[in-house]
Chain A
């Protein structure tokens, strides 16, 4: 299985400040079709996960533009340009290059 490793595991951010989460995969997520199947999800307290980013950097429908994704191959980053109170929760990266999908351990974001 592809192992997804996130850092940090938790972060505390002042509203209006930026935040960044790293995700590294044990194998390249670049598929032969030219796409890189790396996703970012946010699970808010008491809720089901919601998709933020697909294919490394494409924002899903309705996701605010303060969220952005970048990276390639095995190294990826999720950035929040200005954290808001509603961004609290656990962020997961996920790989879907094939049907043995794996998630990172999660990064808990709290507001200072």
Chain B
């Protein structure tokens, strides 16, 4: 069965970087795009970007351009999301979500979420 397992919670200081991993299993890793979506406490969903695990190409939300980097390791079927220059507003749960038959469509395969807390 399809599973997306994310790395554990992180606590970071302002100005630091965080790298969250998402390990995929149960399907052909390179066949589906992977999205990253975040959700601040008590807030809505915010799309951060997408990576094509096949070639590694990426597209980022304009808001995060220059601060976010998405990469993948095909040998371990893992995608990574690194966010730099962290500030308190980046405190959120970060989700990876597998694309489906439409590139912009996130189906029902989501990671369990990774809480990133930014605090001095």
Contacts and interface: CB of A to CB of B under 8 A. Distances in A.
Contacts, number: 61
Interface in A46-68: 48-51, 54-55, 60-62
A12 B89 CA distance: 31
B50 interface: yes
B44 A49 contact: no
A94 B37 CA distance: 12
B58 to A, nearest CB: 10
Contact of A103 (B45, B62, B100, B111): B45
Specify the main secondary structure of chain A where it touches its partner.
loop
A99 B110 contact: no
B105 A54 contact: yes
A69 interface: no
Interface string A1-14: 10000000000000
Given A1-B62, A60-B108, A101-B61, A54 B102 contact: yes
B32 interface: no
B44 A106 contact: yes
Contacts of A43: 45
A99 B110 CA distance: 19
Contacts of B59: 99
B113 to A, nearest CB: 7
Interface in A1-56: 1, 37, 39, 41, 43, 48-51, 54-55
Nearest to B112: A48
Contact of B105 (A39, A103, A106): A39
Interface of A: 1, 37, 39, 41, 43, 48-51, 54-55, 60-62, 90, 92, 94, 96-106
Which are the 6 A-B pairs with shortest beta-carbon distances?
Answer: A96-B104, A48-B110, A101-B47, A99-B59, A106-B44, A103-B45
19 contacts: A37-B104, A48-B111, A49-B97, A49-B110, A51-B100, A51-B106, A51-B108, A60-B107, A92-B44, A94-B45, A96-B103, A97-B104, A98-B104, A99-B103, A99-B104, A100-B62, A101-B35, A106-B44, A106-B45
Interface of B: 35, 37, 44-47, 50, 59, 61-62, 95, 97, 100, 102-108, 110-113
